Structure 1
Amino acid sequence: MPSVPLSTAERESKLLDAFVQMADTLVDDYDIADVLHELVSHCVRLLGFATAGILLSNQRGGLQVVASSTEQTRMLELYQIQTSEGPCWDCVHSGEPVSAADLAAEADHWPLFVHHALDLGFAAAHAIPMRLRHETIGALNLFGLEPQPLPEQDLRAARALADTATIGILQERAIHRGEVLTEQLQVALINRVAIEQAKGILAQAGNLDMDQAFQALRSYGRRRSTRLSDIAHQLASGVIGPDTVLTDRRRDDS
């Protein structure tokens, strides 16, 4: 559900904290997956939307989901990719923000997407390009449970957060050669596959839903100052067992 509305002063303070946190994260050997999950978490907290997600280009003309605040959001993002329609799809291919404050009114524009989104309980969708200069590498997507516009000041805040993450991905030292950019983006997509596998393992072993499994995975890594993707690869490959992660979760809940 959307968070309780913040006062202007509270939001400005939390927005500043978000930029500081993301800037601190973008250091040597940073974890792209964790940065992008931080981005969607900040957007949900600060912009008053129910959920958020990110689509990222795989540099071969396709898109993949690399971050989502809920499993339901991930499934909706995947549906956009499968049907090649929706605000996020249009945003990536146009390089411009795309807003649908009332999805029901967009049924003629995106018939498959709107039908599916409404079935899932979503009523609004807004997409912000992740772009550096003339290169669009993905989109940040915000979803509401009721018809909900994206005010200009919120659009600016979302774009600034998305730009911060984009600069981290495409920082100059990593894009002086095209093949380096492709490699870095591909690593993010490979890591996302491992994260999904690890979530599934934890969900099955601990009788958790996918959102609970992700939080357990992320908390385990943070307590050990270990990157999210590294923990996911260890769990997916059997280096650590699900009981190890779940024991930590049960200890936290006790």
Structure 2
Amino acid sequence: MTAMSERQHERQHEKRLASAFTDLTGPLVRDVNVTDVLHTLSQHCVDLLDVSAAGVLLDVPHGPGVDVVASDEYTRALELFGIEWDEGPSLDCRRSPAHVSETRLDADDACPRWPRFTPRALLLGFTSVATVPLRCQDTVVGALSLLHDRPRPLDDVQLRLAKALADTAAMCVIQQQVLQGQKTQIARLQDSLESQIVIEQAKGFLSNSRGCTADQALIRMRTYARNRQLKLSDVARQVLDGAVAHTLLAPER
């Protein structure tokens, strides 16, 4: 390779590297689907690290459950089988996260360690797997698996880059989890406010129709709701819609 071609190759690599981090940090400033972020991570790992495939196991603490994303469907199926079998490098990395580890799948100790995962991976042509935790400070949200069929392991530069990509993706995942939590809290507050407004409106309507105080109207609605195992806000809406029993709306005597 000539000096000029080497420089061109380096520029292309720098562009691909910049593109990877741009794609992964973009979700830090906008709301995105976490699955899309992890798919982007797997694709860039294959492109930049010269591996055959990449799989990502997502297991956010207090999250909805385990999810798997991969650079191709065969690798995703392999990772899903690993979850079903409760074995494999991704699960090991998630349970006991180290900075980086790499294992030869064609070594003597690989099959006893993962008796079902290893033969399936070898059948797909993978001879080695490196795992990197998806970590943001002390929080681990999953694991990145890098599978390849080369006789030599990934070098230190590649492993450091894999860790940087995984850490960036982890930040995005955690931020999206925080944003989702904020949205949920806002929605609950909005529902609570709307319910309170309906209840206040129903109190006023009921106190006028029954000729009682607002407090008496509220007690009446609560008793009606408790006896019928209904939410107070639902009874209030029924009052405003005229859909409650006549006894609730009848005036005081």
* TM tier, smaller: 0.5 to 0.7
Query: Does 1:150 pair with 2:161?
Result: no
Alpha-carbon contact 2:85-2:116 (below 8 Å) kept: yes
- With normalisation by structure 1, the TM-score equals 0.61
Alpha-carbon contact 2:28-2:175 (below 8 Å) kept: no
Residue 63 of structure 1 deviates from its aligned partner by 6.3
Alpha-carbon contact 1:88-1:139 (below 8 Å) kept: yes
Query: Does 1:180 pair with 2:184?
Result: no
Query: Does 1:41 pair with 2:43?
Result: yes
Divergent runs of 4+, >6 A: 60-63
> How many Å separate the matches in 1 of 2:176 and 2:125?
41
- Residue 82 of structure 1 is matched in structure 2 by 84
Alpha-carbon contact 1:40-1:68 (below 8 Å) kept: yes
Alpha-carbon contact 1:131-1:138 (below 8 Å) kept: yes
> How many Å separate the matches in 1 of 2:102 and 2:31?
35
- Residue 198 of structure 2 is matched in structure 1 by none
Residue 153 of structure 1 deviates from its aligned partner by 0.7
After superposition, the Cα gap between the structure-2 partners of 1:83 and 1:61, relative to the gap in structure 1 and judged at 3 Å, is farther
After superposition, the Cα gap between the structure-2 partners of 1:144 and 1:15, relative to the gap in structure 1 and judged at 3 Å, is same
* Offset from partner CA, 1:106-157 (integer Å, 9 cap, x none): 2232222111211222211111100112221101111113334121111111
In structure 1, give the amino acid aligned to 2:87.
Answer: E
* Offset from partner CA, 1:148-200 (integer Å, 9 cap, x none): 4121111111111111111111139818xxx939x8xxxxxxxxxxxxxxxxx
Alpha-carbon contact 2:31-2:176 (below 8 Å) kept: no
> How many Å separate the matches in 1 of 2:79 and 2:129?
11
> How many Å separate the matches in 1 of 2:94 and 2:177?
24
> How many Å separate the matches in 2 of 1:160 and 1:44?
14
Which is further off, 64-73 or 45-54?
64-73
- Residue 135 of structure 2 is matched in structure 1 by 131
Q: Choose which of 67, 70, 82 in structure 2 pairs with 1:68.
A: 70
Partner SS for 2:57: strand
Residue 71 of structure 1 deviates from its aligned partner by 0.7
Where does 1:1-254 land on structure 2 (aligned, <5 Å)?
7-57=9-59, 59=61, 64-96=66-98, 97-100=100-103, 102-105=104-107, 106-171=110-175, 174=178, 180=181
After superposition, the Cα gap between the structure-2 partners of 1:15 and 1:164, relative to the gap in structure 1 and judged at 3 Å, is same
* Offset from partner CA, 1:190-242 (integer Å, 9 cap, x none): xxxxxxxxxxxxxxxxxxxxxxxxxxxxxxxxxxxxxxxxxxxxxxxxxxxxx
Alpha-carbon contact 1:98-1:128 (below 8 Å) kept: yes
> How many Å separate the matches in 1 of 2:81 and 2:47?
25
> How many Å separate the matches in 2 of 1:142 and 1:83?
19
Say what the alpha-carbon RMSD is for the aligned residues: 2.7
- With normalisation by structure 2, the TM-score equals 0.61
Alpha-carbon contact 2:55-2:146 (below 8 Å) kept: yes
Give percent identity, aligned residues only. 38
